[in-house]
Amino acid sequence: MRRFLPVFALVFLFACSASSGGGGGGVYIAPDVKGCDAPTAAGCIGFNTDTKGGETVDGDVIGGNDGGTTNNDALGTDKDATGSDDIGIDDSFSTDDAGDLDGFFDNPDTTTDSDTGGEPSNCNERAKIVYVVSKENKLLSFTPDTLTLKVVGTLNCNVSGTPFSMSVDRQANAWVLYQGGTFTTKGLGIFKVSTLDASCQSTTYVPNSQGIELFGMGFSSDGYGSQNETLYIAGASASTFQTVKNKLGSIAFPGMGVTSIGTIDFVGGADLTGNGKGELFGFFPDGTSPSVRQIDKTNAKATTLKSWPLPASVFSNTQAWAFAQWGGDFYLFFQSIMDPSTNVWKLNAATGVATQVMTNIGYTITGAGVSSCAPTGTSP
């Protein structure tokens, strides 16, 4: 899932954060901090060697020590050299699975996926990658291991608003929450969107149920390797969701009714993602302690399980954010008010190191979705 702040509201928020000393200018970091072994921008957090989104050196590594001269990031991988330049974004989309667009769900494949428990899987093959949605109403697929973005199509949902958050189920259906065009506008409804061609269908979801007007959302399996999954949401009123503790709830299918679980014990607007191991995680970029946190699905606790702190110097002055779990790691789609478009970061769950892997992708990403069919990387 993810959220987007309209520009006029961001101007106000930026002015407030600048006066209070919080963040102090988004991703523009002095060249003598975190991973710089020379007084240059390359090798420092948030500095890029060009402005087109395609870097020839790996200069955006948190904790990296490359000095901007090699492609060795903190994890010993090299993905900036070619992956970031693949942002000419291929506007074509094809699939071997035509699906069943006449039914409420696409026809699933029946395969075995050892990454999600080793049981026979009811997963559609398209459900094993990440999808993102943009402020510009584009639905895109994202393949994390190759850092490839492809346009699926343009959303034409019958609503006057902007995509606010998104998740994807095991049958490769995307579920997109729309918001109106102002900072305090409530949610306008959830639409079912095909990951085959971006076509939209309305749903029976009643906006603003349980007092949750805007929210992030993510599917999580009901247990390790389970073929059943639940859609979780975290949100609050439209005017306070970034500054208060969000409510955690779930949405039942097919009726789309909302059940309240509890209040998350951590302040800030939460984007959600889950996996096939039955886990649920939240991305909290606001406030003085930006982080990714595991959320207990039974009681909404986000302070008792695993957590990964993120540098406030980078994840601040938030304009748009989303994230998704894939292969056991997290992919963070983040845009500050200083950025022309979204940047993509990979958070290594084992080391806690966040590395910028794509720069200025040309879209403002407002939602990310991944199903519980996606690989989880390791066994529990």
Q: What is the 3-class SS of the chain, one letter each residue?
A: CEEECCHHHHHHHHHHHHHHCCCCCCCCCCCCCCCCCCCCCCCCCCCCCCCCCCCCCCCCECCCCCCCCCCCCCCCCCCHHHHHHHCCCECCCCCCCCCCCCCCCCCCCCEECHHHCCCEECCCHHHHCEEEEECCCEEEEEECCCCEEEEEEECCCCCCCEEEEEEECCCCEEEEEEECCCCCCCEEEEEEEECCCCCEEECCCCCCHHHCCEEEEEEEECCCCCCCEEEEEEEECCCCCCCCEEEEEEECCCCCCEEEEEEEEEEECCEEEECCCCCEEEEECCCCCCEEEECCCCCCCCCCCCEEECCCCCCCCEEEEEEEEECCEEEEEEEECCCCCCEEEEECCCCCCEEEEECCCCCCEEEEECCCCCCCCCCC
Question: Which fold does the domain 2-11+87-94+105-369 belong to in CATH?
Answer: Neuraminidase (2.120.10)
Q: How many residues does the chain have?
A: 380
Strands 280-284 vs 271-274: parallel, antiparallel or unpaired: antiparallel
CA angle at 253 for the pair 250 and 259, rounded to the nearest 5°: 25
Cα dihedral across residues 364, 369, 374, 376: positive or negative: positive
Residue 316 pLDDT: 87
Residue 259 forms beta bridges with which residues?
250
Q: What whole-number distance in Å separates Cα of residue 118 and Cα of residue 225?
A: 7
- Give the N- to C-terminal CA distance of the chain in Å, as an integer: 24
Quote the pLDDT of residue 287: 67
Side chain identity at 17, as an amino acid letter? S
Domain ranges of the chain: 2-11+87-94+105-369
> How far is it, in rounded angstroms, from Cα 210 to Cα 236?
9
pLDDT digit of tens for each residue in the chain (380 aa)?
344 444 434 444 444 433 333 333 322 222 333 333 333 333 333 333 333 333 333 333 333 333 333 333 333 333 343 333 333 334 433 333 333 333 333 444 434 444 544 344 789 999 999 999 999 999 999 999 999 999 999 999 988 889 999 999 999 999 999 987 654 556 679 999 999 999 999 999 998 888 888 999 999 999 998 999 999 999 988 887 777 899 999 999 999 999 999 999 998 888 999 999 999 999 999 767 899 999 999 999 999 999 999 999 899 888 999 999 999 999 999 999 999 999 999 999 999 999 999 999 999 999 999 999 999 986 44
pTM: 0.72
Longest C-alpha distance within the chain, in Å?
59
Q: What is the pLDDT of residue 298?
A: 96
